[in-house]
Amino acid sequence: MKKLFIALLTLTLSLALFCASHAEDILGKPFPDFTATDTEGNEFTLSEALKDHDAVLLNIWASWCPPCEAEFPDLNEAYEAYKDRVAFIALSCEPEDTLEVIAEYRRSHGVTFPMGRDEGMALIEYTGSDGIPTTVIVDRQGNAAFFQIGMFEDASRVGEALEGVLNGGKADGK
């Protein structure tokens, strides 16, 4: 039992350090401008979204991912509360998730904010993340101000992350 506990503790600490190292690579640095087409045929461009919003929440996910599916209701709730100040976009990094697949997923799961594709997995590769969902919040200046690999526990955690960025802070997630 003691060996199992030590092994789990070591794994947890290793994962925390691994996630922290990814955060150090992008936090506080300019996030690359990107353009994605959403399921409605609209173009979403980071720099354009930041002209009208104080921040952008980018969620990278895949249709086969249970944690991604589980967090969408919380992201929806946060979107409804923050959509006047924060632009949201969820981009699938799964090559087989076509815009048609994503549109059906969005409809069947009641996702209210834009969804599209991370073409060529460019954004997930830029973050260095090897897990999904991955969430990045980009501040008004275009810098990555929040980074998290893994799902949010609930909508209040999304709100806390957004408030931290909107109030001038930066932090990594779990």
Print pLDDT tens along the chain (174 aa). 544 333 333 333 333 333 344 678 899 999 999 999 999 999 999 999 999 999 999 999 999 999 999 999 999 999 999 999 999 999 999 999 999 999 999 999 999 999 999 998 999 999 999 899 999 999 999 999 999 999 999 999 999 999 999 998 655 554
CB 134 within 8 A of CB 60: yes
49's CB contacts (< 8 A; 6+ apart) are 56, 87, 89
What does pTM read for this prediction? 0.84
Q: How many Å apart are CA 68 and CA 89, to the nearest integer?
A: 13
Q: Which residues pair with 22 in a beta bridge?
A: none
Task: Give the span between the Cα atoms of 125 and 108, in whole angstroms.
Answer: 28
Per-residue confidence (pLDDT) for residue 22, from 0 to 100: 67
Burial of 120 (0-12, 13-18, 19+ CB in 10 A): exposed
